[in-house]
């Protein structure tokens, strides 16, 4: 997803007699994302540099290339991405200097030429460049249009430079191409900032453990068969066609004057959140006692 990317980092800790594997999740949002296109089929001539001016971001920059023929390089804050033009093609005096980490190459009889592979925002790019906040470079490519992204490595004397990425000031990222025969490049680039991760776990499947016994209805008649008994896992069901539920709005001082009971809900006008009273000894997540703002999350992470 363009506006919300997730990365899973696995860290293994080796201790005497013990191996621990810790998986953490990093979610990002695009900053100043831009599409670009130069060369054949575009109104911008081949070889015309395209510059992204990026504000400070705390998780680097990602360039997704949707179409490519047949090489490129980048200049990031005055430093080239690679020591040589990154060349994906063979023949006509060209030296291919990038391949898949498993040894596969474009035009090797199994992987088609890079210019015949296309990507999009709704599938996967043909090539992806990731610049980390510490300046490290990783690249990924697809062996077919819309196929999975696989790690890439530079070869034949080409190498990545270490980039200085500004996390407190502006960044300049320029995409360039050497023009050799038909030449084009298009795609999307954006800075990345980290954001809190939302729950994406699927809902629980199976047979409900119970059904609702009480309902409050403001409609003229029930519109669902066996309402409210047909609603699983509830205590009270509210149903209206033109009315919403309003819970008590209170300041923190007003809330503190209550004699609360476990399960009580209010809207805290000072904290601007819906709060739930969890009692003094909740059975789940025992550290979160008393009043707590309700936030989106997953039970697995509690």
Give the model confidence (pLDDT) of 98-153 as tens digits. Answer: 999 999 999 999 999 999 999 999 899 999 999 999 999 999 999 999 999 999 99
> In this predicted structure, what is the pLDDT of residue 109?
94
Under DSSP, the state recorded for 79 is: E
The domains of the chain are located at 30-195, 209-245, 246-302
Which one of 183-187, 199-203, 279-283 scores highest in mean pLDDT? 183-187
| pLDDT, position 135 | 92
Whether CATH 2.10.10 fits 246-302: yes
Candidates 182, 186, 175; CA nearest to 40 is: 182
30-195 CATH:
2.60.120
Sheet holding 291-293, edge to edge: 249-250, 265-268, 273-277, 291-293
Give pLDDT tens digits for 56-95. 999 999 999 999 999 999 999 999 999 999 999 998 789 9
Beta strand residue intervals within 146-288, DSSP E:
150-154, 171-176, 184-195, 214-217, 236-239, 249-250, 265-268, 273-277
Record the tokens describing residue 291, joined without a space: 């009043």
pLDDT at residue number 5: 53
* Residue 82 DSSP code: B
Mean pLDDT of the chain: 87
pTM attached to this predicted model: 0.66
Q: Which of 210, 244, 242, 239 is nearest to 223 (CA)?
A: 239
Which two three-digit tokens encode residue 201? 């776990």
- The pLDDT confidence band at residue 174, using thresholds 50, 70 and 90, is very high
Kindly calculate the radius of gyration of the chain based on its CA atoms and give it in whole angstroms: 27
């Amino acid at each position: 997803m363009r506006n919300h990317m997730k990365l899973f980092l696995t860290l293994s800790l080796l201790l005497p007699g013990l191996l621990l594997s810790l998986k953490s999740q990093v979610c990002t949002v695009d900053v100043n994302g831009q599409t670009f296109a130069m060369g054949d089929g575009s109104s911008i001539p081949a070889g015309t540099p395209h510059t992204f001016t990026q504000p400070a971001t705390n998780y680097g920059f990602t360039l997704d290339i949707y179409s490519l023929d047949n090489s490129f390089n980048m200049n990031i804050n005055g430093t080239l991405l690679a020591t040589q033009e990154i060349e994906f093609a063979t023949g006509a005096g060209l030296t291919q200097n990038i391949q898949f980490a498993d040894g596969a190459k474009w035009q090797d009889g199994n992987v088609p030429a890079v210019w015949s592979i296309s990507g999009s925002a709704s599938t996967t790019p043909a090539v992806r460049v990731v610049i980390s906040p510490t300046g490290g470079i990783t690249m990924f490519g697809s062996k077919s249009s819309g196929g999975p992204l696989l790690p890439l490595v530079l070869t034949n004397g080409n190498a990545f430079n270490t980039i200085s990425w500004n996390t407190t000031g502006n960044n300049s990222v320029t995409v360039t191409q050497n023009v050799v025969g038909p030449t084009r490049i298009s795609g999307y680039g954006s800075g990345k900032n980290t954001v809190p991760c939302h729950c994406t776990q699927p809902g629980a499947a199976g047979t409900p453990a119970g059904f609702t016994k009480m309902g409050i209805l403001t409609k003229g008649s029930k519109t669902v068969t066996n309402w409210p008994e047909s609603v699983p896992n509830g205590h009270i069901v509210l149903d209206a066609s033109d009315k919403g539920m309003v819970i008590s709005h209170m300041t923190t001082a007003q809330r503190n004057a209550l004699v609360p009971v476990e399960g009580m809900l209010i809207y805290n006008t000072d904290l601007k959140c819906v709060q739930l009273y969890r009692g003094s000894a909740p059975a789940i997540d025992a550290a979160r006692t008393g009043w707590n703002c309700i936030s989106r999350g997953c039970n697995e992470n509690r």
